A and B are shown apart, each in its own frame.
Chain A
């Protein structure tokens, strides 16, 4: 339906960007696609600890990422850190998943792995280059957001999600968190959970509860901070 946009276009610190309902951000002026917190092999990390989660999270994540790349046809892809759940992730990955990543990276002119706290050294054998931060025009890309004013920063790490209440029920979904000056990307990985944007961690970055671009089933919903509610464990902090 036309009144439910699958992609929202907006101005981020002077640069036009697009937020996609699948959870990727596109910077058209730089022909770049940004995706964050893929957490490849989170399932097998839990299996090593005795909880046998289905081992298909890497391929499920890859499948969605491939679709997003197809849709936007970027020249540059930036994986904004925590692409691998831990340092052993590549070693546990199934052969066909490794091949799929290699092919995907090879098909892009410039693939950048930003270093994350889970993957300070993204594996080199998969192709692409690694960086701690990356400048993209007026935008600065890094994994962990600075706890200070950082105009034009795009970061990941916090896995923002928004809880919206209505009709006697509440919905909790992944979202982009932003105040128009900076932005925190939703986590893209199939098994990644979310941290409510009413949490203190977001206050430290934005000075207030940020607004949310919430990922619906086939649309991005723009929802203001005052329509978002905290999870119960956070209620005390916000009192």
Chain B
């Protein structure tokens, strides 16, 4: 227990509320007085936000009491959160103690929505506390006078730091914090989080590293753990499906739970799942319960309406995606239902935290698996929650495209020397490993593109003056850079506008362009909780009308599809392997696993089960790595290439979260499986396949946008079809052919390996199963193979598919005139 005492005004405020300061809040004050950076880990409802701000408020109170009434305001505390809405919410909550204590403070938010005039005023007359986002910090760095603006800064608070740090946004933020530390060396950092898996990693991320010295870590301050959540897994009366994610079999029971709870959040994993679940619940809703829908594609006005209704307690349930994961306290939720497997224990714990923002009462949650495999996963997740075992994305080396954006940004702000900047970026933990050679390459990239053929020297974007300092070549270049700041690259989106007769209408939200491009006028799909008929695309709008079609074509948005975490995968494997633990599972699931044991065998916890069997006129190979869909897809790509070389004539493959099935025209049971699954496939095979793949081209495009090689296109810029544009695919092809080790290709490769391909995870899996591959030649399909085989035909296969579209079309219709 800390013996720190609160200043009188604060103690009086706590007393007036009948509260005692929590021990972690006092420890935060003590750490601030000792000049330490901190990482505060406390559950939702544990007074975490106040813990983060108390040192600032105490400091500011001292300033206010000594200063004259018309004191000049200086920026004292910068608060950064991943969500705009969170900044606004926290600002509102912070005003309560500030007003009740009678503190004369200016607290303001600054986001992408803040007006230009307000921004200008904030710049000239900063508030005491500014609440903002990582992108706004990057903009500050890229603007003149940043040094003066931040000079008096004392504290930086980073909320939900576990969610930002592992992403490119985290890289950009880390670089921004390093710049702040140069301008305001006394400013201390505090990270706030409820769920941290890698505590030491995050504590290191938060501290400015000293080049050449040992790693340094922020002090970890812990709140009380609070009551353990109560997690129940739905054991449905209906038959549990083998595959699919609709969860329809469980909805009648879920509806009853919603009825008997005060307010329920129903979490799903994808936006399309949110749409179908919402629709299906309303079919059951004979009592007309107020049930609403909330996901990232809906128009902001729609979302705000739902949030306001929640806050008022006017809703009985909200079906939502990860948009409601993070810390906004919208209302009095007493039940959280997770539809489908949670995919990771940290995500589940975060979602559980949405129920019951009181520490002493346990939050209640119901998991509703949508198929048999998910029962295993939910069971593993429940065990993990009981142990409070957290998982999360690992913190990795900082991305080079983000570094390129940052160094360009710094040169658009205060002119800076390369040596100074090098030292500065190395104090950012993700970039501590960068050597001068690589840094110079990135600088060269930002300036001229950094090509071996040095023909762009006269077109530099940033130039070095006689004073050795780097600055943007012109104000126009700097302005264009500022318009392209940020690391969030979104798929092109269209507005969905509904109207009766194709004129006027109301905006329902936004939908991915590629999805709309698949639709033919007259097609129906689910969006914003209703069945819509697609009519036409006009400019940046998809025009729709209401449809009475009961069987819509469902949007297959990819938004929010999470891969199974490594940690949960491991627990699922262990559970399958251990029949002694099956008693926890529903009988149907137990029977299914017993049947697998009888007909084939259970997948070993540390090896790999490979089954081969014939079916109709094809031969199948099925294996169970349990490493998530992304890693399995990559494995599928690589295995098919190898099978082609072995003349097995593979025809295709399909992957789900647990298994991979490959089929072909030859019997594969005689193969050397140790060789087939050999680790060396991660080398040349991977390189060769990846270089040609669409995925790599998409990844390259994102890196090119973030790094500033090409500019984002803003709405309105692409209205005319006459515009002849080139695609980044062309740039990729030329660059790969002529300068394969260019820094941007390095960045794209690193991205593909960690992100969409999960190469790292596949590599670990192959190493794990080495020497432990067990082959089971079977006469027929095994019970465990059924779910993945049910997905055959739903997924496009591989790159050849593009060429065959052309072949189909040309075979179907050959112009008589031309042959």
Contacts and interface: CB of A to CB of B under 8 A. Distances in A.
Interface of A: 4, 8, 10-11, 42-44, 47-48, 50-57, 59-60, 92, 94, 159, 164-171, 173, 178-180, 190-196, 199, 201, 211, 213-214, 216-217, 221-224, 226-227, 230-237, 239
Given A169-B518, A193-B724, 19 more contacts: A47-B449, A51-B711, A53-B449, A53-B710, A54-B735, A56-B453, A59-B738, A166-B808, A167-B801, A169-B801, A191-B730, A192-B724, A196-B721, A221-B810, A222-B814, A222-B819, A233-B537, A233-B719, A237-B721
Contacts of A199: 721-722
B210 interface: no
B7 interface: no
B87 to A, nearest CB: 32
B100 interface: no
Contacts of A59: 738
Contacts of A196: 721
A51 B473 CA distance: 13
Contact of B453 (A11, A55, A191): A55
Contact of B513 (A57, A60, A221, A232): A232
Given A191-B726, A237-B721, A56 B739 contact: yes
A138 B524 CA distance: 52
B714 to A, nearest CB: 15
A77 B737 CA distance: 26
B455 interface: yes
B477 interface: yes
Given A167-B796, A190-B734, A52 B461 contact: yes
B456 A47 contact: yes
Contact of B805 (A51, A94, A166): A166
Contacts, number: 175
Contact of A217 (B455, B803, B805): B803
B461 A54 contact: no
Contacts of B459: 44, 47-48, 50, 52
A60 B734 contact: yes
A55 B538 contact: no
A234 B721 contact: yes
Contacts of A54: 449, 451, 731, 734-735, 738-739, 742
A223 B721 CA distance: 22
Nearest to A168: B518
B491 to A, nearest CB: 14
A145 to B, nearest CB: 15
A159 B719 contact: no
B93 to A, nearest CB: 43
Contacts of B719: 233
Contacts of B810: 214, 221-223
Contacts of B455: 44, 55, 92, 94
B598 interface: no
Nearest to B732: A54
Nearest to B472: A50
A43 B451 CA distance: 12
Contacts of A193: 724-727, 730
Contacts of B476: 50
A4 B808 CA distance: 12
Contacts of A236: 536-539
B720 interface: yes
B737 A56 contact: yes
Contacts of B518: 168-170
A57 B734 contact: yes
A57 B718 CA distance: 24
A171 B806 contact: yes
A32 B124 CA distance: 69
B517 interface: yes
Contacts of B461: 50, 52
B813 interface: yes
A44 B456 contact: yes
Interface string B583-611: 00000000000000000000000000000
B809 A164 contact: yes
Contact of A52 (B448, B538, B807, B813): B448
27 contacts: A47-B459, A50-B459, A53-B710, A53-B731, A54-B449, A54-B735, A54-B739, A55-B455, A56-B453, A60-B733, A94-B453, A167-B805, A169-B796, A180-B818, A190-B733, A191-B730, A193-B726, A195-B722, A201-B722, A221-B810, A222-B815, A222-B818, A223-B806, A224-B813, A230-B721, A232-B513, A233-B537
Q: Which of A48, A211, A216 has the most C-beta atoms of chain B within 10 angstroms of its own C-beta? A: A216
Given A4-B807, A54-B739, A192 B449 contact: no
Given A54-B735, A195-B722, A239 B453 contact: no
A55 B454 CA distance: 9
B737 A60 contact: yes
Interface in B322-381: none
Interface string B739-780: 100100000000000000000000000000000000000000
B803 A216 contact: yes
B796 A168 contact: yes
Contacts of A159: 724
B65 interface: no
Contacts of A165: 805
Contacts of A239: 536
